Amino acid sequence: MGADRLIVEGIEAECRLGVSEWEQEKPQPIWVDLELSIDAKRAAAQDDVKDAVDYAALVAAVREEAQRRPVKLLETLTEAIAELVLEQFGTKRVRVRVKKRALQGIGYAAVEVERTQVRRPGRRVRVAVGRGAA
């Protein structure tokens, strides 16, 4: 992860997530933590929101993605959010953690991924798998 980061923790959303029938029956709460590589110096120098990430738009997009369709796996939702952030918010690297209450007796289960945007001349942006995610 680069030196400058935007960290947004505890984005709460409702979604249908899980393998069991009862998990898919009604939306359940999840929490999303994000870390985006940013250029804080540039944003600070201009003191202009156009040079920064719009937190409200970021949170709204994450919530919308979580509610877009039912999924079975935390991994599926986490990957979808990482791809969304890379494509829509001008960051080159993102770390995403999605948490849910999964079993009695544990605080939560989570999946965390780190993804990097890779640009190749004349080609579309593709997402590369980063190390350090666990």
Catalytic center residues: 100
Q: Is 66 exposed, middle or buried (0-12, 13-18, 19+ CB in 10 A)?
A: buried
Contacts of 15 (CB under 8 A, 6+ apart): 27, 28, 30, 66, 67, 70, 71, 77
The residue written with tokens 């937190």 in the block is 55
